[in-house]
């Protein structure tokens, strides 16, 4: 096991077996090999090897990382990150050197190069960002490996503007989140209004609406009724339709339901309505 000589004593390699599950943070010195599942952050000084079949849900920080398993969380390497073909990473990759093999699944931003602090030549980093197999010229290794986290974050805004295509990926993602939430609230309220029982919504609509609008559907119904019931007298049909459909429009405020006036018509009535009026017909039964 090749390990850095920085760890003098406890340079023990830890192994998390394939059937092991750790819920919680892992921290410490030495290298770690994960074949099982970890739900928590990992911060070690040394090598971290996420083997195939392993799953890490949490942020990872190590000196050098080799990922051929699944990682959901930010990955930060003080020296390097290597995502192999079987690897899956959803999160931010941050290291001076990053390698992604063909077939790897990576979603998130990638930041390579040296921290800004040491006045690293930035022109080497941006063009080589997208896919890196080989070793890019990593000029200064002495550039604060211990405090890698803070300076690299500071270096991030520097490098973003240069490759515009990749920044768009990030910028496309966040916007849906905010508007959707605000819009969903409105939509929910609207849905709540709409999802009231149809009868009530109709009642409220028609009773609240001015008399002119109310008269429109009524007259339409009258016309339909006249067409449909030729044998009956027009005056009577109009009377019954007016008597039975206006109270249904405003059932609460409606005067009466004189169903008993003509039983034959009351029986035949529910069949007439179309589409929306089906609810009325059902409700009447």
The footprint of other proteins (CB under 8 A) covers: 7, 10-32, 35-36, 39-40, 44
- CB of residue 47 vs other proteins: minimum separation in angstroms? 12
Q: How far apart are CA 129 and CA 148, in angstroms?
A: 19
Name all contacts of 260-265 with Cβ < 8 Å and 24+ positions apart.
Answer: 262/236, 265/232, 265/237, 265/240
Pick the closer one to other proteins by CB: 25 or 200.
25
Pick the closer one to other proteins by CB: 10 or 135.
10
Pick the closer one to other proteins by CB: 13 or 180.
13
- CB of residue 37 vs other proteins: minimum separation in angstroms? 9
**H or E element, residue 64:** strand 60-67
CA dist 240 → 91, 202, 258 (Å):
70, 20, 8
- CB of residue 11 vs other proteins: minimum separation in angstroms? 8
* 8 Å CB contact between 48 and 64: yes
Structure tokens at 157: 């805004």
- CB of residue 24 vs other proteins: minimum separation in angstroms? 1
Pick the closer one to other proteins by CB: 36 or 99.
36
**H or E element, residue 100:** strand 97-100
Pick the closer one to other proteins by CB: 7 or 232.
7
- CB of residue 8 vs other proteins: minimum separation in angstroms? 11
| Cβ partners under 8 Å of residue 234, min gap 6 | 226
Q: How far apart are CA 28 and CA 73, in angstroms?
A: 19
């Amino acid at each position: 096991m090749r390990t850095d000589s920085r760890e003098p004593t406890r340079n023990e390699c830890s192994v998390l077996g394939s059937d092991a599950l750790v819920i919680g943070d892992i921290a410490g010195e030495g290298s770690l090999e994960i074949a099982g599942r970890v739900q928590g952050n990992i911060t070690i000084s040394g090598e971290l090897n996420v083997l195939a079949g392993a799953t890490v849900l949490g942020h990872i920080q190590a000196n050098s990382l080799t990922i051929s398993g699944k990682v959901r969380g930010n990955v930060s390497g003080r020296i390097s990150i290597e995502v192999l073909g079987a690897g899956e990473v959803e999160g931010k990759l941050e290291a001076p050197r990053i390698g992604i093999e063909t077939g790897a699944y990576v979603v998130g931003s990638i930041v390579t190069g040296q921290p800004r602090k040491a006045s690293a030549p930035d022109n080497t980093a941006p063009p080589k960002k997208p896919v890196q197999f080989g070793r890019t010229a990593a000029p200064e290794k002495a550039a604060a490996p211990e405090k890698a986290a803070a300076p690299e974050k500071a270096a991030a805004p520097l490098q973003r503007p240069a490759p515009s295509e990749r920044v768009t990926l990030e910028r496309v993602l966040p916007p849906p989140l905010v508007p959707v939430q605000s819009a969903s609230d409105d939509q929910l309220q609207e849905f709540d209004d709409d999802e009231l029982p149809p009868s009530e919504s109709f009642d409220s609509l028609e009773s609240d609406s001015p008399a002119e609008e109310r008269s429109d559907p009524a007259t339409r119904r009258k016309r339909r009724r006249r067409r449909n019931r030729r044998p009956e007298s027009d005056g009577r049909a109009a009377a019954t339709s007016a008597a039975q459909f206006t109270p249904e429009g405003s059932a609460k405020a409606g005067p009466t339901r004189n169903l008993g006036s003509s039983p034959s018509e009351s029986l035949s009535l529910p069949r007439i309505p179309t589409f929306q009026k089906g609810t009325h017909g059902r409700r009447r039964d």
